[in-house]
Amino acid sequence: MVVSKTTPDSLSDLAQKTQKASQKLAVLSTKQRNEALSAIAAALSTHNEQIVAANQKDCEEAKKEGIPQALQARLKLDQTKLQSAIAGVQDVVKLDDPIGAVQIHRELDTGLILKRLTCPLGVLGVIFEARPDALIQITSLAIKSGNGVILKGGKEALNSCQALIKVIHNALSKTDVPPEAVQLLTTRAEIQELLSLDQYVDLIIPRGSNSFVRYIQENTNIPVLGHADGICHLYVDETADLKQAVTIAVDSKTQYPAACNAVETLLVNRTIAGEFLPLLAPAMAEKGVTLRGDTETRQILPQIEEATETDWSTEYGGLVLAVKVVADLESAIAHIKSYGSKHTEAIVTENNDHAQAFLNQVDAAGVFHNCSTRFSDGFRYGFGAEVGISTQKMPPRGPVGLEGLVTYKYQLTGNGHIAASYSGENPKPFTRKDKIRTQ
C-alpha cells in the first residue's frame, strides 16, 4: 500500500482508489468507524518500537543534514510523544459523530418530509510539515468524519510516515474501514499532481508557511482550507485597565510567539500612551521582546527601534512587537482594516460602547475583548479537535473542528408527491412544520 514512487498516471489511479474506498467508509456506522480508530490506537501501541526506530533514522538524518533545532524537535517522535498521539486517537473516538446529524427536519406537506443531514466530503488531501504525530491526528480525524485521506508529510519524516502508514494499514485491514481510504504520498512532485485531481479530491488542507499555503490556494480548483497569514492586533483603548492591558499584551505576544494567533502589532490610544508604554516596556523586556515603534511611540520610549511601513504587515513569528500610537478607536479600526489578516483582533477597554463598536466593525474570524489573542484556537474553544484555522471569509471560518470536514445533503421522502399539485390554479399549500431546525 505504501507508494514509494508514482508516475502521474498512477497517482490519479491511487486517488480514484481512495475515492472508491471513501465511498465505502462514508456509509459505515459510528461504531464501525470508532472500532477502526481503536484498532489503529492498539496497533500503534503494539508496534511502538518499530515506529520509534524508524523515527530515529529520520532524526539522525536530519541532524546530519543540520536542519534547524526547532524542526528537529518537531520531527522527533519518541515514546512520550507517541503515547500522547495514541491518547489523541482515543480522544477522537469519544468525540460526537460529525456525520448523520440532522440540521433540518421539516414536514413540507403531509407525508413529504425534508431532512438536511451532515455527510462526509469524500477525499481530503492533507499536506503537512515534517511532524509524524500530525499524520496520526489527521488520519484519525479523517476516519472519524468518514473521509478518505491522501497524506503528504514533510520529506524529513519519510521513514516515520511510512512506518506509521504500514501499521495503520495493517490495523485497518482487520476492520470495516478499507485500508485504501488512507494513502501516503512520498515525493514533493506529487503535490502538483494532487492539486489537479479535482475529480477525486474534495478538499485540500495545506499546513506550513504562509507562502506555501498561498501557493496552494493559487494553484488548484479544489477548495482549500488554510490560513495564509496571522497578523493579529491588540488595541489598548483610552479607558483600558492598564495593568490588565500589559498582562494581555505580554500573553498575546509571548505565550507562544510562533503561533498564528500571537499578536504582531500593538495599537495604543494617544490619551494613555504616555502612561501605558512605560509600563509595557519593562514587562516586554523581561520576556525578551524587542519593541519597534512609530514616531510617537519613540517619543515616549526613545530607546526602542523604529518601525517602518513593512513592520505593519509583518508576521514576526518571534519575539518582536510593532507599536503604534493612534488617535482613537476609529483610527485603530482603520489600521486593522488596512493591515489585518482577518485572523484575530483584540481590544482592551472598560468602555462597553467602544468594545461593542470594535467587535461589530472589525472584520476578522475572531474579535476579542479584554482577553488574549492566544485563545483563538479550536481546542480552547472546546471543539475537541482542530483541523486548522481559516482566515477565509466564507464558512468554515476561524478555528475549524470536525465540522469543517463534513458537508450536508437534503433528503426528501414522499409517497408520490409531485410539484404540479402545488402550482397552477388551486395549488395545494405547503404545511412546513419544523421538527428540527438548527442552522
Q: How far apart are CA 264 and CA 252, in angstroms?
A: 9
CB of 290 to its own copies, least distance (A): 20
Task: Give yes or no for residue 372 binding its own copies (CB under 8 A).
Answer: yes
The residue among 123 and 130 lying less far from its own copies, judged by its C-beta, is 123
Which of positions 231-250 make contact with its own copies (CB under 8 A)? Answer: 241, 244, 247-248, 250
Task: Give yes or no for residue 359 binding its own copies (CB under 8 A).
Answer: yes
E strand or H helix at 326: strand 320-326
Are the C-beta atoms of residues 234 and 266 closer than 8 Å to each other? Answer: yes
Task: Give yes or no for residue 422 binding its own copies (CB under 8 A).
Answer: yes
Task: Give yes or no for residue 215 binding its own copies (CB under 8 A).
Answer: no
Q: What grid cell was written down for 175?
A: 476492520
Name residue, grid cell 523581561: 286
Are the C-beta atoms of residues 196 and 57 closer than 8 Å to each other? Answer: no
Q: What grid cell was written down for 435?
A: 421538527
Find the part of the chain contacting its own copies (CB under 8 A) among 61-69, 176-184, 294-302, 378-386: 378-386
What one-character DSSP code corresponds to residue 224? B
Q: How far apart are CA 213 and CA 143, in angstroms?
A: 24
Among 150, 130, 141, 170, which Cα is nearest to 50's?
170
Phi (first) and psi of residue 142, to 5 degrees: -65, -50
Task: Give yes or no for residue 203 binding its own copies (CB under 8 A).
Answer: yes
CB of 412 to its own copies, least distance (A): 5
The residue among 81 and 337 lying less far from its own copies, judged by its C-beta, is 337
Q: Which one of residues 318, 330, 430, 435 is an interface residue with its own copies (CB under 8 A)?
A: 430
CB of 193 to its own copies, least distance (A): 19
Task: Give yes or no for residue 284 binding its own copies (CB under 8 A).
Answer: no
Tell me the Ramachandran region of residue 5: left when phi exceeds 0, alpha when psi lies from -120 to 50, beta otherwise: beta
Task: Give yes or no for residue 88 binding its own copies (CB under 8 A).
Answer: no
Listed in sequence order, the residues at least 6 apart from 355 whose beta carbon sits closer than 8 Å to its beta carbon are 347, 349, 369, 370
Q: Which one of residues 30, 56, 255, 271 is an interface residue with its own copies (CB under 8 A)?
A: 255
Which of positions 123-182 make contact with its own copies (CB under 8 A)? Answer: none
Listed in sequence order, the residues at least 6 apart from 10 whose beta carbon sits closer than 8 Å to its beta carbon are 3
Task: Give yes or no for residue 70 binding its own copies (CB under 8 A).
Answer: no
CB of 19 to its own copies, least distance (A): 10
Q: Which one of residues 64, 70, 302, 394 is an interface residue with its own copies (CB under 8 A)?
A: 394
Find the part of the chain contacting its own copies (CB under 8 A) among 58-66, 71-79, 308-316, 414-422: 414-422
Tell me if residue 245 falls in helix, strand or coil: helix
Task: Give yes or no for residue 395 binding its own copies (CB under 8 A).
Answer: yes
Task: Give yes or no for residue 295 binding its own copies (CB under 8 A).
Answer: no
Q: State the CB neighbour count (10 A cutoff) for residue 60.
A: 11
Task: Give yes or no for residue 319 binding its own copies (CB under 8 A).
Answer: no
Task: Give yes or no for residue 407 binding its own copies (CB under 8 A).
Answer: yes
Tell me if residue 257 falls in helix, strand or coil: coil
Task: Give yes or no for residue 381 binding its own copies (CB under 8 A).
Answer: yes
